[in-house]
């Protein structure tokens, strides 16, 4: 059972990575045999991974059999980012209204301290990306709702909707260090609002925070479209809609 689970995870991570990197054109049919050989896996875990990615929205089932890579419009990505803001905003508001155990708040403080360290002096991007991912994972947990946590995870798997979608190539963006610092200010403000039991403020901050990703998307697709191929996931966005 453990081996089957490991094979599935390998297939899922490998296939998702190939799709987001633009290894296949949008609307193109996935070649199962070639993929199986490329990933070094049998077709059983590969098909399970395809089923999962259909649920996530990265793939679409073909009536005649098999599946193809989904095509996203610019508006699809904007909507996904807005939806992440809604879900994370709801998580922040409910956390403030319901209260959060001290152990989880201490965990949040620890994550904020790690991000502060990553931003001190020359930016440690790897540490920042790790801390940012940990912050958003924890934010989804603070409301104590498995439903919200599950939906937050699902949305983050959509192209460019993840809080870390642009961080790996943050150097492409103008004033990137100021952007990271601004995001960290918002992280801390969210946690302070939750601790103060200010639900409406916590929700508004989380929604505003998600819009940083929208600003980055607009810059890379409209102001500097030549940089878009360097960002995983942008290959799936139709150029006709940008």
Over residues 119-152, the pLDDT tens digits come to 998 888 889 989 999 999 999 999 999 999 999 9
On whether residue 118 sits in a domain, the answer given is yes
The answer on 121 and 204 residing in a single domain is yes
Q: Where does a domain end: 33, 51, 69?
A: 69
Q: Are residues 146 and 35 in the same domain?
A: no
The CATH number assigned to the domain holding 121 equals 1.20.120.530
Lowest mean pLDDT among 2-11, 40-49, 127-136: 2-11
The pTM (predicted TM-score) of the whole model is 0.80
The crossing angle, in degrees rounded to 10, of helices 146-156 and 74-98 is: 160
Q: Does 187 share its domain with 82?
A: yes
What's the average model confidence in pLDDT over 228-239? Answer: 69
Q: Same domain for 59 and 115?
A: no
Residue 122's pLDDT is: 84
Mean pLDDT of all residues in 161-190? 78
Residue 234 reports pLDDT greater than 80: no
Residue located via tokens 């319901």: 98
Same domain assignment for residues 81 and 48:
no
Among 113, 112, 119, 116, smallest CA distance to 138 is for 112
- The boundaries of the domain holding residue 103 are 74-236
Which residue, 69, 86, 114, sits at the end of a domain? Answer: 69
Class of residue 111 by CB neighbours under 10 A (exposed 0-12, middle 13-18, buried 19+): buried
């Amino acid at each position: 059972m453990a081996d089957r689970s490991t094979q599935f995870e390998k297939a899922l991570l490998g296939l998702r990575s190939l799709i987001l990197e633009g290894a296949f054109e949008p609307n193109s049919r996935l070649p199962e045999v070639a993929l199986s050989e490329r990933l070094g896996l049998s077709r059983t875990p590969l098909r399970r991974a395809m089923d999962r990615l259909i649920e996530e929205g990265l793939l679409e089932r073909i009536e005649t059999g098999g599946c193809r890579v989904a095509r996203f419009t610019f508006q699809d990505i904007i909507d996904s980012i807005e939806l992440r803001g809604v879900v994370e905003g709801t998580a922040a508001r409910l956390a403030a209204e319901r209260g959060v155990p001290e152990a989880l708040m201490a965990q949040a403080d620890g994550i904020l301290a790690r991000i502060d360290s990553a931003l001190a002096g020359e930016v440690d991007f790897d540490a920042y990306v790790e801390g940012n991912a940990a912050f958003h994972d924890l934010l989804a947990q603070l409301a104590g709702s498995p439903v919200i946590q599950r939906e937050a995870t699902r949305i983050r798997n959509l192209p460019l909707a993840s809080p870390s979608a642009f961080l790996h190539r943050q150097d492409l963006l103008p004033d990137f260090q100021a952007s990271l610092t601004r995001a960290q200010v918002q992280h801390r403000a969210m946690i302070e609002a939750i601790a103060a039991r200010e639900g409406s403020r916590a929700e508004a901050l989380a929604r505003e925070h998600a819009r940083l990703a929208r600003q980055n998307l607009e810059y890379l697709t409209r102001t500097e479209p030549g940089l878009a191929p360097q960002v995983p996931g942008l290959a799936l966005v139709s150029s006709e809609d940008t």
